[in-house]
Structure 1
Amino acid sequence: MTTEADRTGPLLLGVRHHGPGSARAVRAALDAARPRAVLIEGPPEADALIPLAADEHMRPPVALLAHAVDEPGRSAFWPLAEFSPEWVAIRWALENGVPARFIDLPATHTLAWEKEEPAEEAPSEEAPAEPDLAEAEPADEEPSDDVRIDPLAVLADAAGYDDAERWWEDVVEHRGVGAEDPLAPFGVLAEAMAALREVYGSGGHERDLVREAYMRLRIRAAQKEFGDAVAVVCGAWHVPALSERTTVAADRARLKGLPKVKADMTWVPWTYRRLARASGYGAGIDSPGWYGHLFSAPDRPVERWLTKVAGLLRAEDRIVSSAHVIEAVRLAETLAVMRGRPLPGLGETTDAVRAVMCDGSDVPLALVRDRLVVGDVLGEVPPDAPAVPLQRDLDRIQRRLRLKPEALERELELDLRKETDAARSRLLHRLRLLGVPWGEPVASRGSTGTFRETWRLRWEPELSVRIAEAGVWGTTVLAAATAKSEADAVSAPALAEVTALAERCLLAELPDALPTVMRVLADRAALDTDVGHLAQALPALVRSLRYGDVRGTGTGALAEVAAGLAERIFVGLPPACAGLDADAAEEIRRHVDAVHGAVGLLGDAPAPGHGDLRARWRTVLRVLSGRDTVPGVIRGRAVRLLLDEGELAPDEAARLMGLVLSPGTPPGDAAAWIEGFVGGGSGGGMLLVHDERLLGLVDTWLTGVPAEAFTDVLPLLRRTFSAYEPGVRRTLGELVRRGPGQRGGVAATGSGVPGFAAEPDQERADAVLPVVRLLLGLEADDVELVGVAR
């Protein structure tokens, strides 16, 4: 065994940054060498944060976060998992009372470097670009200093493997730490990296030359203090460069003139999912959950893993017994023997799970990969870790509201009539205003009331950066959200954005920001003459009025502005509809729908002095429906809205349709009118099903369209009728096939409505009344109703 007395120079332990085999080997090597100091690849500004790794509240995966003080959004992460060799080295040093220090290029240079060369390498959300053994590039490319190589892939190819991950598992992860020399693996790996660097130079990572020069200077400084009893834990690619004999002057010359920014550092929670290579992390791995399992269960890992898989599948109501686990273990071991592997790896266990537990299906296997192979583990950091004031206020609110950040996506149902749920809603809305999308609002199931909200929550590590960036607006969530909303209102380029902001301020309950937003809104509305902009702004403004009752927020000023917007739309909409092309007409049609819904809501809370807005809007619709200069899609929609409101008799609607579908109307205009009347998701399909007159008019017109014009109208008709539900389309087809007089499935009765008699059937109607009374909660008034209720 190599001892400290036998060794000259520092002990260089080259590792894969997130490898359980490397982590176990580092622990064994440190136990054997017993160094007086441990040097670790990482930013030296984090030296003061190392003692927090021993805190009982620290739970990896975590990351060191560095951000520029003047630009909090410019940041970098250095993630560490429980199975990361660097984390093992930190923990070993703390447990043995040995100094631990970071020796990589300071974050103050790293962040400034990213700022000066954004095109070459974009600012990283994770660790700065690392020539890590996990990076993937083709191993057979021509050697060049400009080519970023993957040393792992090169070594795997030399060993005859076509899969670099499988080679790494065989030679490192499946190799137990036994009685052999614990330092031998690091010597072999150093020789391999030295051979690769002779061929590939810096491997395309020019910044590594600067980083390695700085690391050599730090190692020399540690040697002066502790002698050669120093252990260095770094990426294996750097080992040959760190053992290279260079002069202090040459290394300092490489560092001369590096840009600098002022930087702060702290610990932040991390997730297994963000360790995955699929997330874009440069030193990522394919299977962090699997590696975490290998590190925590070195004995019988296959049996324990397949037991986890069985538990997950059982939780998803799949039938998986102990016999399935036993057979899966046997199959995985057999596959490993057939493939010449020392132990079953992830590939063998996955194949065994697919064949034995998933019946050959990849659907449940995708769940196993998502939940176990990658995983949703979220780390924790101590409460006393350095943080910006805004982060501390958020932590306090999260604890008070019992709203714990989780990596696993989940839905949260809120009842705004409850104080705790209302406070949770305010917090999530305020964070969204600050650009911290911890929660995403989704449609509530089973309720359309304004007192209920549904959120999809998922905490991502980069949200910590968003919080640090939002800290410039204030030291508390409320103050920051208020300040940012006021600034956003002033800088918003469009009226619709200001109205959307007003709505979000009401949802977030920001009473101090609302006056500023409303003043900007009133000014923009008074100056904006574009009817399209006004129509875009009105719906969000009117929706905001509905939040007053539930949230207790005053909306009087909001109602006044909304009513003023509506009046300006009423005046400007008819002239704006003249001379439009097809795309502009379709856009205005959507605005008409939105304004119609908004006026319906606004009529429930009218502003004083503005009269009956609903009646005035119906007048506008009548004007639109009768003007020949208005595009057909808008005229058709105006007629349909009047019909739905009961302001237009069915006979009159049929007459207007008949006029439009007469031979004198160009087929394209007629098709556009039909699209406006029965298209756009307005329930027009059911209208045609239940009104034989309208269906007959459409059918007669369509069969009479000249062949040369049919190609032109076909896209419009297809867009209209393809939006119907399959059942509606099928029913319409059946009615058309049966022909006039038989479309109700029986002989024509003269009612004109398919499926209905000329007069109501009193006996059948009476049979329905008990059920209707029960649904409405009415008192039972006869024995029959009591029986039904029972």
Structure 2
Amino acid sequence: MRRGDSDARVGGDVTPGPLLLGVRHHGPGSARAVRAALDAERPAAVLIEGPPEGDALLGLAADPGMRPPVALLAHAVDDPGRASFWPMATFSPEWVALRWALDNGAAVRFVDLPAAHTLALNSDPTWGDGDDEEPQQSDPAVGLRIDPIAVLARTAGHDDPERWWEDVIEHRGDGDPRAPFAAVAEAMGVLRETYGAGGHGRDLVREAHMRLKLRAAQKEFGDDRVAVVCGAWHVPALRRRTTVAADRALLKGLPKVRTETTWVPWTHRRLARRSGYGAGIDSPGWYGHLFAAPDRPVERWLTKVAGLLRDEDRSVSPAHVIEAVRLAETLAALRGRPLAGLSETTDAVRAVMCEGSDVPLALVRDRLVVGDVLGEVPAGAPAVPLQRDLDRLQRSLRLKPEARERDLELDLRKENDTARSRLLHRLRLLGVDWGEPVAGRAGTGTFRESWRLRWEPELHVRVAEAGVWGTTVDGAATARAESRALAARTLADMTALAERCLLAGLADALPVVMRALADRAALDADVGHLAQALPALARALRYGDVRATDTAALGEVAAGLAERICVGLPPACAGLDRDAADEMRGHLDAVHAALGLLPDSADRADRWAAVLHRLATREAVAGLIRGRAVRLLLDDGRLGEDETARLMGLALSPGTPPADAATWIEGFVGGGTGGGMLLVHDERLLALVDAWLTGVPEEAFADVLPLLRRTFSAYEPGVRRTIGELVARGPSAAAARAQAGVPGFADALDEHRAEAVLPVLRLLLGNDEMTGADR
């Protein structure tokens, strides 16, 4: 024991004093060792690294409804977004110590810095986020920030800290499991002497609070009747001899906020470091297996892997499992490891069960190494009223939160599915993105909705934040929508909000939103703003039909916007540069699609067609927009093929600058508008484009090429190949036909080409013989 250390014990020491068990968070080996040490020492009190505000909730850990992984959640009452989590899994030493104390009648308390101070300090950038295993800013005088596990691994000659820790702690299967505590504490003591706080500035304050709590417990239960379970980094600080006055001085003047604390479900995925949780581990599923496996962990693990791969229709036999076990053990021996670890079993799975492919191996990592385990908390756990209402709705709608991402198809003609849809839309309006809308199956119309669901633990914080808007999901969403209606800055924001209110079924909020929308629409004269706003209104009217919602007021606003767009669009499209024309083309497409969703009106359709005719024939309008207007008229059947060819011929005439002609082509057949198939099936239009392209002067071709490349590169590979074949086959012949004014593919029916389709027709119709009349 070093000079200045107190009379504390670590591991199997017999020195009188509190038992200090330094662990690594979420370490299964540490958890087993903690359980063995507590069984041997039988302390009267167990102190655990965690926020003291959680003491009142510790008894819930013994509730049958509590299933790890779970986390203590503390958030500021006045600002629920300021929150911190203390997660625990079944293999976390803190959870093992907590359950041991509850099962054996020992007192159990949290002794870390109170969450009231932690949340206040988190808003101070000089303190960082307080996470034990992630970088945080601190006072430069404290020293450089270090990773103690990495330093110890390098000292031992290992370049992989994770593998070194697994070998010396997690994979120990023989001897006294308490022995590592003394060795780790000794090593951490040397590191603390060398590096001080190691860049963990807040640790000095946290450890002062821990020492005060430890002294109080010793006074209450006796010096040698107290056990402390904390991060190994803190053990040397708890053994130091300090005065009460010195520790209190470190805590004096710390900021604090009013907090609330509860238990929330956690997930294995959020325990993984790659998911962003700082004090996490790379392989929670693997660590959970190591902790739970009574014996032969490698054999049991590879059996799990085989079962997963078989469920995915991969051929994996017991022989594969046997061979994989042998390979993993051989690799461990060659690498000098006491037991095959995750890297050895992964290499064995890749070689034996996956035939060298990393594709099925990625599934193994996602489902087993990390895993989608979602914890549960009992119904009696404290929660904000909004969370309780959400829990009630989830149960009544049979919509259980799951950690694994899954797709949900809803049929809005069914009452329960409609209620589910409204719940998900209301939560999205509140910022609780449990579900994300996705493109549904083709041809299902507006009666179908497709969602992708995944419950993340952070959503509990979002629910707590949303609690300021109300105590029920319906009431909170209504209040939130009304507030956003008053704060919306653009007309498009207003119409999007109206659409979301209809989707969410917020009948009380809709009148407020509609009044604000009507006022904003009356004052906004920008055609671009009107064009951005109309599509959301058109969709909302359609959703209103499906959901049996009264949308009369919405229809009046939409009709007014459509009329103002028809009046203001032609002047707004004149004299635009390239970027402005590209933006206006997007507005043109959006308005055209939106008008098709509005209730049938022959007058409106004729009015819009007249607007498109004006755009298609005005020289002051950019070629991009003129070409797009011609295409929309052609698709709607309001422009004949002859007139289309005439307008294209004018746009591509020798007198038109090549760059302007190229933008016209881009507007007419560009992007994903189906223009490629139009050129495939109408050789006359293709011939016009080909004749123009071959006539572009050499000095202008370099300027035209990027525009054409952008236009045609958006086509499917098959479409591009077919166009190339048509051009190679003889675009000049097609051009001659086009110049002759003959529509279609040829002057008359080509019987030889028609005969070629007869075998296919016989196969489709199931007739071996076809009469002349059939033909």
TM bucket normalised to smaller: over 0.9
Residues 240-277 of structure 1: per-residue CA shift (max 9 Å, x gap): 00110000000000001000100000000000010011
Going from structure 1 to structure 2, the CA distance change for 1:629 and 1:444 (only over 3 Å counts) comes to same
Q: Post-superposition shift, 1:765?
A: 11
Q: Retained in 1: the 8 A contact 2:447–2:546?
A: yes
Which letter maps to 2:173?
G
Q: Post-superposition shift, 1:483?
A: 0.4
Query: Who is 2:166 aligned against?
Result: 169
Aligned: 1:160 with 2:161: no
1:8 counterpart (12, 16, 24): 16
Q: Retained in 2: the 8 A contact 1:144–1:200?
A: no
Going from structure 1 to structure 2, the CA distance change for 1:773 and 1:594 (only over 3 Å counts) comes to farther
Inter-partner Cα distance in structure 2 for 1:743 and 1:576 = 38
Which letter maps to 2:171?
H
Going from structure 1 to structure 2, the CA distance change for 1:530 and 1:505 (only over 3 Å counts) comes to same
Which letter maps to 2:189?
A
Q: Retained in 2: the 8 A contact 1:406–1:459?
A: yes
Q: Post-superposition shift, 1:309?
A: 0.5
Identity between Structure 1 and Structure 2 (%): 75
Aligned: 1:358 with 2:354: yes
Question: For residues 381-780 of structure 1, what are the structure 2 equivalents within 5 Å?
Answer: 381-604=377-600, 612-740=603-731, 752-754=743-745, 757-758=748-749
Q: Post-superposition shift, 1:176?
A: 2.2
Q: Post-superposition shift, 1:725?
A: 1.0
Q: Which runs of 4+ in 1 moved over 6 A?
A: 1-5, 759-774
Query: Who is 1:321 aligned against?
Result: 317
Q: Retained in 2: the 8 A contact 1:639–1:677?
A: yes
Going from structure 1 to structure 2, the CA distance change for 1:770 and 1:594 (only over 3 Å counts) comes to farther
Q: Which is worse superposed, 439-448 or 49-58?
A: 439-448
Inter-partner Cα distance in structure 1 for 2:217 and 2:704 = 81
Aligned: 1:222 with 2:236: no
Residues 143-179 of structure 1: per-residue CA shift (max 9 Å, x gap): 984422111111111111111111111111111264x
**What is the alpha-carbon root mean square deviation over aligned residues?**
2.6
Where does structure 1 lack aligned partners over 5 or more consecutive residues? Answer: 123-127, 138-142, 775-783
Q: Post-superposition shift, 1:136?
A: 8.8
Which letter maps to 2:151?
V
Residues 415-436 of structure 1: per-residue CA shift (max 9 Å, x gap): 1111111111111011000000
Inter-partner Cα distance in structure 2 for 1:320 and 1:749 = 68
Going from structure 1 to structure 2, the CA distance change for 1:244 and 1:757 (only over 3 Å counts) comes to farther
Q: Post-superposition shift, 1:7?
A: 3.2
Match of 1:160, SS state, is coil
Inter-partner Cα distance in structure 1 for 2:106 and 2:174 = 23
Q: Post-superposition shift, 1:6?
A: 3.7
Query: Who is 2:335 aligned against?
Result: 339
Question: For residues 194-205 of structure 1, what are the structure 2 equivalents within 5 Å?
Answer: 194-205=189-200
Q: Retained in 2: the 8 A contact 1:442–1:455?
A: yes
Residues 63-117 of structure 1: per-residue CA shift (max 9 Å, x gap): 00000000011100000000000000000000001110000000001111112x1
Which letter maps to 2:128?
E
Query: Who is 2:3 aligned against?
Result: none
Query: Who is 2:128 aligned against?
Result: 121
Inter-partner Cα distance in structure 2 for 1:149 and 1:315 = 44
Which letter maps to 1:416?
L
2:71 counterpart (63, 81, 99): 63
Inter-partner Cα distance in structure 2 for 1:337 and 1:144 = 45
Aligned: 1:34 with 2:42: yes
Match of 1:546, SS state, is helix
Q: Retained in 1: the 8 A contact 2:145–2:198?
A: yes
Query: Who is 2:244 aligned against?
Result: 248
Going from structure 1 to structure 2, the CA distance change for 1:120 and 1:582 (only over 3 Å counts) comes to farther
Match of 1:450, SS state, is helix
Going from structure 1 to structure 2, the CA distance change for 1:770 and 1:599 (only over 3 Å counts) comes to farther
Q: Retained in 1: the 8 A contact 2:143–2:196?
A: no
Residues 446-478 of structure 1: per-residue CA shift (max 9 Å, x gap): 434100111100000000000000000000000
Residues 193-235 of structure 1: per-residue CA shift (max 9 Å, x gap): 0000111110101110000001100001111100111000000
Where does structure 2 lack aligned partners over 5 or more consecutive residues? Answer: 1-8
Q: Post-superposition shift, 1:288?
A: 0.5
Q: Post-superposition shift, 1:696?
A: 1.0
Q: Retained in 1: the 8 A contact 2:687–2:734?
A: no
Which letter maps to 2:526?
D
Which letter maps to 2:43?
P
Query: Who is 1:310 aligned against?
Result: 306
Q: Post-superposition shift, 1:705?
A: 0.6
Going from structure 1 to structure 2, the CA distance change for 1:480 and 1:650 (only over 3 Å counts) comes to same
Q: Post-superposition shift, 1:601?
A: 1.4
Inter-partner Cα distance in structure 2 for 1:366 and 1:91 = 34
Which letter maps to 2:464?
A
Going from structure 1 to structure 2, the CA distance change for 1:119 and 1:599 (only over 3 Å counts) comes to farther
Q: Post-superposition shift, 1:640?
A: 1.0
Inter-partner Cα distance in structure 1 for 2:326 and 2:12 = 44
Inter-partner Cα distance in structure 1 for 2:59 and 2:611 = 72
Inter-partner Cα distance in structure 2 for 1:693 and 1:4 = 92
Q: Retained in 2: the 8 A contact 1:39–1:102?
A: yes
Inter-partner Cα distance in structure 2 for 1:26 and 1:219 = 18
Q: Retained in 1: the 8 A contact 2:210–2:238?
A: yes
Q: Which is worse superposed, 326-335 or 671-680?
A: 671-680
Q: Retained in 2: the 8 A contact 1:213–1:255?
A: yes
Going from structure 1 to structure 2, the CA distance change for 1:764 and 1:518 (only over 3 Å counts) comes to farther
Query: Who is 2:93 aligned against?
Result: 85
Which letter maps to 2:72?
L
Inter-partner Cα distance in structure 2 for 1:672 and 1:715 = 11
Match of 2:436, SS state, is strand
Inter-partner Cα distance in structure 2 for 1:767 and 1:260 = 83
Q: Retained in 1: the 8 A contact 2:690–2:731?
A: no
Query: Who is 1:184 aligned against?
Result: 179
Query: Who is 1:150 aligned against?
Result: 147
Going from structure 1 to structure 2, the CA distance change for 1:251 and 1:499 (only over 3 Å counts) comes to same
Q: Retained in 1: the 8 A contact 2:135–2:145?
A: no
Q: Retained in 2: the 8 A contact 1:270–1:461?
A: yes
Q: Post-superposition shift, 1:548?
A: 2.0
Going from structure 1 to structure 2, the CA distance change for 1:118 and 1:493 (only over 3 Å counts) comes to farther
Q: Retained in 2: the 8 A contact 1:336–1:343?
A: yes
Going from structure 1 to structure 2, the CA distance change for 1:529 and 1:773 (only over 3 Å counts) comes to farther
Which letter maps to 2:695?
G
Going from structure 1 to structure 2, the CA distance change for 1:34 and 1:497 (only over 3 Å counts) comes to same
Q: Retained in 2: the 8 A contact 1:751–1:757?
A: no
Which letter maps to 1:201?
G
Going from structure 1 to structure 2, the CA distance change for 1:762 and 1:325 (only over 3 Å counts) comes to closer
Q: Post-superposition shift, 1:602?
A: 1.3
Inter-partner Cα distance in structure 1 for 2:272 and 2:564 = 54
Q: Retained in 1: the 8 A contact 2:10–2:185?
A: no
Inter-partner Cα distance in structure 1 for 2:12 and 2:341 = 35
Match of 2:446, SS state, is coil
Residues 744-770 of structure 1: per-residue CA shift (max 9 Å, x gap): 9x9x99954238944999999999999
Residues 681-703 of structure 1: per-residue CA shift (max 9 Å, x gap): 22111111121221111111101
Q: Post-superposition shift, 1:120?
A: 5.3
Inter-partner Cα distance in structure 1 for 2:142 and 2:606 = 76
Question: For residues 222-301 of structure 1, what are the structure 2 equivalents within 5 Å?
Answer: 222-228=217-223, 229-301=225-297
Which letter maps to 1:71?
D
Match of 2:261, SS state, is strand
Inter-partner Cα distance in structure 1 for 2:605 and 2:367 = 53
Going from structure 1 to structure 2, the CA distance change for 1:5 and 1:298 (only over 3 Å counts) comes to closer
Match of 2:75, SS state, is strand
Going from structure 1 to structure 2, the CA distance change for 1:364 and 1:411 (only over 3 Å counts) comes to same
